[in-house]
Structure 1
Amino acid sequence: AKFYDLVYKAQRPELFFKSPPAKVASFGQKVRIRKDSKWSVPEPELTLVVSPAGKIVGFTIGNDMSARDIEGENPLYLPQAKMYSGACAIGPVVTLARFLPQGEACSIHLQIHRAGAQVFEGKTSLASMARKLEDLVSWLFKENDFPDGAFLLTGTGVVPPDQFTLHSGDVIRIEIAGIGVLENTVE
């Protein structure tokens, strides 16, 4: 926990490569949990659509699947915990930047259903974000070029409790006000 306290208080944000486009799921497609993980969770995230010039042009919804046990074992295992086939979903649409609600009005809502019953629900809002969206983009573009633009998942404020893990067949539903709903089933 002390390691992440340092990350969250640092001037430099935590940024990492999540997935090549071919490994990203869209609405209705399956996401995965790692076979070698016993504790996996979704992380609902506002996702920025960024132009090649580094300007935020739109927003969509992201699901940053995470193997918490692997990440917790050693912070250097973060790439293994977050970057694997089926570890990211994005969609269902792109909302133009000028239409996104601001602050508390931009709610981020996560529901997880198992065998038809809701087993987890959590909610946060854009107002709870620790960093400004433009600052995240600025850091991303400092030493990188993105000739086709980029999708930047902004981090989560909703994580299921430590005793919760995803199971095959779970349905993950992420809703962000002004954008819509991203829904995926766990393979």
Structure 2
Amino acid sequence: MRFAKVRRGANDVGVVRVDDQNRAFALDLASRAGVGSLADLLASPDPAALAIELTAPGTPAEALDTLALLPPVDRQEIWAAGVTYKRSKVAREEESVGAAQFYDKVYSAARPELFMKATPERTTGPGGPIRVRRDSKWSVPEPELTLVVSPDLRIVGYTVGNDVSSRDIEGENPLYLPQAKIYHGSCAVGPVVTLASAMPPLADVTIRLVIRRGGKVGFEGETSVSSLNRTVESLVEWLGRENHFPTGVLLMTGTGIVPPDEFTLSSGDVVDITISGIGTLSNPVA
């Protein structure tokens, strides 16, 4: 089962459940006390059963692609992990020669690199624009399997994430990481949340990135979650150490696809990230 947030009017935001035929069924959140958002639904002990309960008899099916989709996040922070794929490790060593030893160490260390990526207000959804920093000359998308985690640190679902990054700013000095990673328009998630129980085995999940420029493919690449150097459970366990997420949290798990050094995102590009079991997150570059 999958879930999506939809906008039906200026002040009308709802939640739908999505079946295998991409048919969406509106959920009546008002019918259950304590369930007022997608985050509340995902924090429940059994989101799938609760979603069926919240589907009123006779609820008509709607085609998912006819709905205005919002990022599937409410009040949760969005965090990210870095250097979790060998390709990412190599790329970051190349972009910052002076700090290469640190990227090598964190790749094999027990403690992962974790950083806060965005708040809901800074997050873009399906079809929304992403941005590159005006003071960056080398920016790339980072397609990432994103964990949807409940307040009690259960991985309840998965979505697609785009951790847009300024490689030249981070490469100049690793201490500039927050500026390279955290700025307006640097984070996109969606289009849906697939419950963990509905996902294929993670070892079989593929991530595909296609960047179109002027109607033509400017770059494309693919990787598999099987290449992830850490387990998703260990990333959540580390994130939860000395941290408290009362409304849950989303955690991007790192990228294994890195465009060549001569490639940088440009205004007008369209970035498509497809993850098996979830769908495609598409965003134009503003």
Q: TM-score range by the shorter chain?
A: over 0.9
Show the counterpart of 1:41.
140
Of the three residues 107, 125, 131, the one matched with 1:26 is: 125
Structure 2 segments unaligned to the other structure (5+ residues): 1-92, 94-99
Structure 1 segments unaligned to the other structure (5+ residues): none
* C-alpha distance in structure 2 between counterparts of 1:122 and 1:98, whole Å: 27
Show the counterpart of 2:19.
none
Point out the structure with max Rg over C-alpha.
2
TM-score w.r.t. the length of structure 2 is 0.65
Show the counterpart of 2:157.
58
Show the counterpart of 2:77.
none
Show the counterpart of 1:119.
218
Are 1:74 and 2:74 an aligned pair?
A: no
Shift of 1:103: 4.2
SS at match of 1:69: helix
Give, as a single letter, the amino acid of the residue that structure 2 aligns with 1:83.
I
Show the counterpart of 2:116.
17
Are 1:180 and 2:180 an aligned pair?
A: no
* C-alpha distance in structure 2 between counterparts of 1:15 and 1:117, whole Å: 35
* C-alpha distance in structure 1 between counterparts of 2:122 and 2:149, whole Å: 19
| Runs of 4+ with >6 A deviation | none
Q: Residues 186 and 140 from structure 1, CA distance in 2 versus in 1: closer, same or farther, beyond 3 angstroms?
A: same
Are 1:102 and 2:186 an aligned pair?
A: no
* C-alpha distance in structure 2 between counterparts of 1:41 and 1:32, whole Å: 10
Q: C-alpha deviations, 1:109-154, integer Å up to 9, x for none?
A: 0000001000100000110100000000000000110000000000
* Structure 1 range deviating more: 78-87 or 2-11: 2-11
* C-alpha distance in structure 1 between counterparts of 2:170 and 2:201, whole Å: 32
Is this contact kept in 2: 1:46–1:155, CA < 8 A? yes
TM-score w.r.t. the length of structure 1 is 0.98
What percent identity do the matched residue pairs reach?
61
Shift of 1:100: 1.4
Q: C-alpha deviations, 1:45-83, integer Å up to 9, x for none?
A: 000000000010000000000000000000110000000
SS at match of 1:16: strand
Show the counterpart of 1:158.
257
Show the counterpart of 1:146.
245
* C-alpha distance in structure 1 between counterparts of 2:181 and 2:191, whole Å: 21
Show the counterpart of 1:85.
184
Is this contact kept in 2: 1:102–1:126, CA < 8 A? no
Give, as a single letter, the amino acid of the residue that structure 2 aligns with 1:30.
P
* C-alpha distance in structure 1 between counterparts of 2:271 and 2:242, whole Å: 34
SS at match of 2:117: coil
What is the alpha-carbon root mean square deviation over aligned residues? 0.7
**Length, aligned pairs only:** 187
